Structure 1
Amino acid sequence: MNDPLVVTPAGVVRGARHDTGEVYRAVPYAVTPTGAGRFAAPVPHPGWRGVRDGTRPSPTAPQPARDFGRLDLTPYFGPGWVPGEYLTVDVHTPAAGDGKHPVMVFVHGGGFVTGSTSASLYDGRSFARDGVVLVKVNYRLGVPGFLDLPGAPPNRGLLDVIAALAWVRDTVAVFGGDPGNVTVFGQSAGATLVGALLADSRARGLFRRAIMQSGTGSGAFTPEQAARVTAALADVLGVAPEAFADVPDERFVEALPSLAGLDLRTATAADPLAGLSPFSLVLPVQPAEALPDEPVDLLIGTNTEEGRLYLVPKGNLDTAAAESLGAALFGDGTRRMIEAHGRAHVYSFGHRSTALDGRLGAAHTVELPFVFDVARDPALHGETGLLGPGEVPEQLAAEVHGAWISFARTGDPGWDRWPVVKGFGH
Structure 2
Amino acid sequence: MNPLLAPGEPVTVRSPAGTVVGRGTGPVRRFLGIPYADAPVGARRFAAPVRRGRFPEPYDASRHGATSQRVPLFATTTVPEPSVPGDDVLNLAVVAPAEDDHREPFPVVVWIHGGGFLAGSPASPWYDGRAFARDGVICVTVGYRLGVDGFAHLDDVPANLGLRDLLLALDWVQENIAAFGGDPDRVTVAGQSAGGGAVLALLSSPLGSGRFHRAVSLSGVPLDVAEDTARDFLERLGHRLGVAPTRTGFGGCTVQRVQQAVIDLRDQRGDGPLMLGPFVGDDILPVSITDGLSVRGHDVPLLLGATGDEFDRVAVGGTTLEKPHPSPGDTAARAAGTRVTDTLFRAVCPRAALSRRNAATGTWLYSFEWPSPVLGGAAHCVDIPYFFDVLDAPGVTQALGPTPSAELATLMHADLVAFVRGAQPAWARATGALGDPAREYGRPGAALGADTTGVFDPVVRTLSEEAEER
**Normalised TM-score (structure 2):** 0.81
- The equivalent of 1:388 in structure 2 is 401
**1:310 and 1:232 mapped to 2: Cα distance?**
30
Aligned pair partner of 2:187 in 171, 182, 198: 182
Alignment of 1:222-371 (within 5 A): 222-240=226-244, 241-243=246-248, 244-260=250-266, 275-284=272-281, 285-291=287-293, 292=295, 294-308=298-312, 313=320, 318-320=328-330, 324-342=339-357, 343-356=362-375, 359=376, 361-371=377-387
Change (3 A) 1:11 1:242: closer
Please say if residues 14 and 51 of structure 1, whose CA atoms lie closer than 8 Å, have aligned partners that are also in contact. Answer: yes
Q: Do structure 1's residue 153 and structure 2's residue 153 form an aligned pair?
A: no
- The equivalent of 1:84 in structure 2 is 87
Question: What is the aligned-residue identity percentage?
Answer: 35
| Superposition deviation, residue 317 in structure 1 | 7.9
Deviations 1:293-335 (A, max 9, x none): 5341000001101113678726858325897221232122333
Q: CA RMSD in A?
A: 2.3
**2:131 and 2:308 mapped to 1: Cα distance?**
25
Alignment of 1:42-57 (within 5 A): 42-57=49-64
**1:11 and 1:297 mapped to 2: Cα distance?**
33
- The equivalent of 1:123 in structure 2 is 128
| Superposition deviation, residue 230 in structure 1 | 1.9
**2:425 and 2:105 mapped to 1: Cα distance?**
20
**1:54 and 1:29 mapped to 2: Cα distance?**
12
SS at match of 1:110: coil
Q: Do structure 1's residue 94 and structure 2's residue 97 form an aligned pair?
A: yes
Please say if residues 80 and 114 of structure 1, whose CA atoms lie closer than 8 Å, have aligned partners that are also in contact. Answer: no
Please say if residues 229 and 275 of structure 2, whose CA atoms lie closer than 8 Å, have aligned partners that are also in contact. Answer: no
Alignment of 1:153-172 (within 5 A): 153-172=158-177
Q: Do structure 1's residue 408 and structure 2's residue 420 form an aligned pair?
A: yes
Please say if residues 419 and 425 of structure 2, whose CA atoms lie closer than 8 Å, have aligned partners that are also in contact. Answer: yes
Please say if residues 147 and 229 of structure 1, whose CA atoms lie closer than 8 Å, have aligned partners that are also in contact. Answer: no
- The equivalent of 1:268 in structure 2 is none
Change (3 A) 1:106 1:23: same
- Report the number of matched residues: 405
Change (3 A) 1:309 1:165: farther
Please say if residues 221 and 348 of structure 2, whose CA atoms lie closer than 8 Å, have aligned partners that are also in contact. Answer: yes
Q: Do structure 1's residue 220 and structure 2's residue 232 form an aligned pair?
A: no
SS at match of 1:139: coil
Deviations 1:190-249 (A, max 9, x none): 0000000011111110000000000123x2111222221222222222222142222222
SS at match of 1:33: coil
Whichever of the two has the greater Rg, that structure is 2
Change (3 A) 1:334 1:263: farther
**1:311 and 1:143 mapped to 2: Cα distance?**
31
**2:153 and 2:218 mapped to 1: Cα distance?**
26
Change (3 A) 1:11 1:105: same
| Superposition deviation, residue 63 in structure 1 | 2.8
| Superposition deviation, residue 19 in structure 1 | 2.0
Please say if residues 187 and 214 of structure 1, whose CA atoms lie closer than 8 Å, have aligned partners that are also in contact. Answer: yes
**2:252 and 2:299 mapped to 1: Cα distance?**
41
Q: Do structure 1's residue 424 and structure 2's residue 430 form an aligned pair?
A: no
**1:249 and 1:139 mapped to 2: Cα distance?**
13
- The equivalent of 1:33 in structure 2 is 40
| Superposition deviation, residue 43 in structure 1 | 0.4
Amino acid at match of 1:319: G
Please say if residues 191 and 212 of structure 1, whose CA atoms lie closer than 8 Å, have aligned partners that are also in contact. Answer: yes
Change (3 A) 1:121 1:222: same
- The equivalent of 1:270 in structure 2 is none
Amino acid at match of 1:339: L
Please say if residues 327 and 339 of structure 2, whose CA atoms lie closer than 8 Å, have aligned partners that are also in contact. Answer: no
Please say if residues 157 and 247 of structure 2, whose CA atoms lie closer than 8 Å, have aligned partners that are also in contact. Answer: no
SS at match of 1:3: strand
Deviations 1:7-55 (A, max 9, x none): 1112111111112221111111111211231111110001222211111
**1:310 and 1:230 mapped to 2: Cα distance?**
31
Change (3 A) 1:34 1:84: closer
Deviates more, 1:45-54 or 1:188-197: 45-54
Long gaps (5+) in structure 2: 1-5, 282-286, 431-435, 444-470
Aligned pair partner of 2:411 in 382, 388, 399: 399
Amino acid at match of 2:345: F
Deviates more, 1:166-175 or 1:253-262: 253-262
Change (3 A) 1:66 1:309: farther
**2:53 and 2:417 mapped to 1: Cα distance?**
33
Change (3 A) 1:280 1:311: farther
**2:261 and 2:55 mapped to 1: Cα distance?**
35
**1:81 and 1:62 mapped to 2: Cα distance?**
8
**2:234 and 2:409 mapped to 1: Cα distance?**
42
| Superposition deviation, residue 158 in structure 1 | 0.8
